[in-house]
Chains A and B, each alone.
Chain A
Amino acid sequence: MSVENGIGASVRRKEDQRFITGNGNYLDDMNRVGQAHGYFLRSPHAHAKIVSINLDAAKAAPGVVDIFLGADMAADGIGGLICGWSITSKDGTPHNAPPHNSMAIDAVRHVGDQVAFVIADTLQQAKDASELIDVDYSELPAVTNISKALAAGAPQIHEEAPGNQCYDWELGDKAAVDAAFANAHSISKIDLINNRVAPNPMEPRAALAEFDMGTDELTLYTTSQNPHVARLIMSAFLAIAPENKLRVVAPDVGGGFGSKIFVYAEETVTVWAARKINRPIKWTADRSEAFLTDAHGRDHASHGELALDADGHILGFKVSTKANMGAYLSTFASAVPTYLYGTLLNGQYKMPCIYVEVQAGFTNTTPVDAYRGAGRPEATYIVERIIETAARDLNMDPTEFRMKNFIQPDAYPYETPVIMTYDSGDYPANMNAAKAMIDYDGFPARKAQSEANGKIRGIGCAAYIEACGIAPSAAVGSLGAGVGLWESAEVRFNPTGSVTVFTGSHSHGQGHETTFAQIISDKLGVPIESVEVVHGDTDKVPFGMGTYGSRSLAVGGSAIVKAIDKIVEKSKKVAAHLMEAAVEDIEHEHGVFSVAGTDKSITMGEIAFAAYVPHNYPADLEPGMAENAFYDPLNFTFPAGTHIAEVEIDPNTGVVDVVDWAASDDFGNIINPMIVEGQVHGGIAQGIGQALLEGVVYDDTGQLITGSYMDYCMPRADDLPNFKVETTNTPCPSNPLGVKGCGEAGAIAAPAALMNAITNALGKDIDMPATPEKVWRAAQSN
């Protein structure tokens, strides 16, 4: 028996009805009676001392309610923003996490740093008043490039971080790697830049805060991927309000890509100020502010070397990376270039030994943190670029070179030299599938045809692996994480048989209201339209760690399954009572409870009704039908796959045409294939954006010169081919749904696959983004 709209069905997304009809509940559409508007005066300088700030004229301006400075927050005992993951350097010292005030107190350290919060009756009045604030800055030299920032003589950004260093971290067995390289037949090398990107969610960040004097409660509506974590940090570290007096609500959120995980200054200031003025305050970032303050992604400079034996087997891999943290340490910034990066450098390969060292440092730039993939795209990029380079060095077909070195399907669980235990997979199957999808063997003929047309054609692949399902709490705790990374859920039947599911995961576009409802529908036989998924409100959901790292289904979904298991267990007792049978004889399938060997059965709806109207009910059982569960994962999950990109380049213009794309991904079991395919499409588009078009650029003085869509190029539909997307399935053994996670895979695989294709066509290396100018120069110098 199967269930309509159950697990495995491509159910159309329930939430899209309101999104596409303009009925979504986005933050800037929300308003409160008596609401004031906030506007931030920001630093125009990349690095400067604040000599003085004169607010007299601004405070006297029309409509101004109040103006606050960093010193006002400090005087109120409000702490600075924190980094939730402490990394230990090679020498055993903890990383340097300099003070990160929500508004600058003595100095500004990047263009856009908050200087003052102007609150007025209207937004325009607040903006006008901000023009009247006289800030006397004493400019200091600035540095934006991570290699320059870590070099001797660079401008010093924080007293607490000598040499601008955050940490100097290592992972792996250096001695073993040195020995492997000493015995190598050949060594392939690569230097590459993983370009800095701006996240650009469609909806900018926003906050609406209100204070209830009667109950002493603060409520913050905000664009967050994890409202409970925001509440925890604001309460425990910033002392905004006790957790029981602070409610954080994230309504419909229009995209995040990681950038809305973090606890930012603006939301913090807004909620604090709402109590100060005892009036609701709304702040919404404009697009310029989003470019300046949403945590950026990537920005690594890396060197890698791969040691090989005479047969083309990998002997060892070593990587040295410099990671740009920006001006301050963002909420999870320190973990991205370390435990989300170094631990994935094994790729899909049998690598006997690996050694990675990562030096992270501060610059006068916007803070950098997790961005779709967070560390795994950076790992995949260097692994798959050097694998491709090694194959070229050896004159081997890159796909054959990969097949030769792949971990084999019978080798699981597979322990890597960088502390991960891969649980399942079939990497050759993904490779073979992707090659078939793109007609890999037909490439030489297509290349010849392109040449005949004056074009150059290239093909390249990326066999990526990532770690999702973040994360086993004990494991991440031992590595420095400040939180546990479990998830919670409550499944609550209403007396009439409909269900409300409360999840600690948060949806900012992923379709949880559909996917999670499908799980309920499948397991408990409730029609999908009778299932309501509630998320994003700390007053409604027991607790939650939010959505990032492709964790919602693997961890949040598993918590729902555990709650369903409790519902079933209780329901069996009710069913046994109602059908006058022994509990052991009750069988359950898709919400129908039957007595084994008979035709007697009762439905979940009838049981729920009996639980709420317990006139005929087991004496030893509590009434009601609502169960909650917490799920702490046993392991990460390891989605993996192969993407192959094919490009055609016009050497006269340098324009790269992505002509074909094949993606074969192993996400384990799949709940909704349509949503999965959409996630893969979006991820690939974002990865192509990074590889071809996007790049944050600062000038020498630290000015952001790609601060609008005139200068920051996002991918559009006509930059993309029709993607060929298929999936394979080796179920994940560590969670009850057997799922692995699909939200980031495309963004992880795409940059490496595309750059391998472009460098294959050009016959030489170039760095991302492969803009027409760069490609043209490379093509002309051939």
Chain B
Amino acid sequence: MQMSGEELISASRERVWEALNDPEILRQAIPGCESVEKTGDDSFAATVKVKIGPVKATFKGNVTLSNIDAPNGYTITGEGKGGAAGFGKGGADITLKDADNGTLLAYDVNASVGGKMAQIGSRLIDGTAKKLAGEFFTKFNELVSNAAAADGEAPVTAAPSEDQSEAPIIAEDETNEEAAKQEDAPSQGWMKPSILIPLGIVAALILYYLAG
């Protein structure tokens, strides 16, 4: 699975970079994420619960950052093991650029899944990825812009909202439910269609490590 896209985050580049490197923000933003631990200067371990169609699993993943160029971007690679459900692995190049209303986060993701997830869930993966990515960005933007507002930065105007409810996935975490609720709130409707990237389970992990 390959995908790329851009995301407008309503905060300054430095603020976004900081958030992308804040395990707690990531833990809150990644759907189904249970824990994030720093395991080295440029590596993390995380646990994420996901459900793709009939396959339900707890993924334990490791992520490594490279090509770090603060606050402009990095390359993130990682893999997650989901036990009997299979595995996911992949990488993404992330770059941050200043934009009129905040920061443009561009990503280029290459990911794959294996085992039962591929066998049974392959048809559902793109939809799942869209859903998870949408939830991630909704929550991430909320967390970053709240923090930015608290820091005295000017709020950013919202873009039209996007329905992300088509994919049959359920991330088993409260944050997910919160994110889902917030999707419907006009104040959170800043996302453009390009947000709906097919990141999938692996991508969720990767995104979560975006900040590293």
Contacts and interface: CB of A to CB of B under 8 A. Distances in A.
The judgment on whether A and B are partners is yes
Interface in A118-147: 127, 130-131
Given A44-B86, A127-B84, A131-B84, A708 B120 contact: yes
Contact of A111 (B53, B114, B120): B114
A704 B119 CA distance: 5
Contacts of B83: 130-131
A704 B114 CA distance: 8
A393 interface: no
A707 B84 contact: no
Interface residues of A: mostly helix, strand, loop or mixed? Answer: loop
B59 interface: no
Interface in B49-105: 53, 83-84, 86-87
Contact of B119 (A127, A131, A701, A708): A708
Interface in A351-381: none
Nearest to A701: B112
A703 B84 contact: no
Given A710-B123, A711-B123, A704 B118 contact: yes
A411 interface: no
Interface string B114-144: 1110111011000000000000000000000
Interface residues of B, number: 15
B48 interface: no
A710 B55 CA distance: 13
B51 to A, nearest CB: 15
B113 A703 contact: yes
Best-surrounded residue of B86, B115, B123 (most CB of chain A within 10 A): B115
Interface string A91-116: 00000000000000000000100000
A111 B84 contact: no
A699 interface: yes
Interface string A311-327: 00000000000000000
Nearest to B86: A44
Contacts of A131: 83-84
A458 to B, nearest CB: 31
A621 interface: no
Contacts of B84: 41, 127, 130-131
Interface in A674-704: 699, 701, 703-704
Nearest to B112: A701
Given A44-B86, A127-B84, A131-B84, A705 B114 contact: no
B119 A699 contact: no
Best-surrounded residue of A42, A111, A131, A703 (most CB of chain B within 10 A): A703
Given A130-B84, A131-B83, A705 B112 contact: no
Nearest to B89: A139
Contact of A711 (B86, B113, B122): B122
A710 B54 CA distance: 11
Nearest to A132: B83
B102 to A, nearest CB: 37
Nearest to A700: B112
A707 B113 CA distance: 14
Given A44-B114, A705-B122, A711-B123, 10 more contacts: A42-B115, A111-B114, A111-B119, A130-B83, A699-B122, A703-B118, A703-B119, A707-B116, A707-B119, A708-B120
Complex A-B, nearest 3 residue pairs according to Cβ-Cβ distance, in ascending order: A44-B115, A707-B119, A703-B118
22 contacts: A44-B87, A44-B114, A44-B115, A46-B114, A111-B118, A111-B119, A127-B84, A131-B83, A131-B84, A288-B119, A291-B119, A699-B118, A701-B112, A703-B113, A703-B118, A703-B122, A704-B118, A707-B118, A707-B120, A708-B119, A710-B120, A711-B123
Interface of A: 41-42, 44-46, 111, 127, 130-131, 288, 291-292, 699, 701, 703-705, 707-708, 710-711
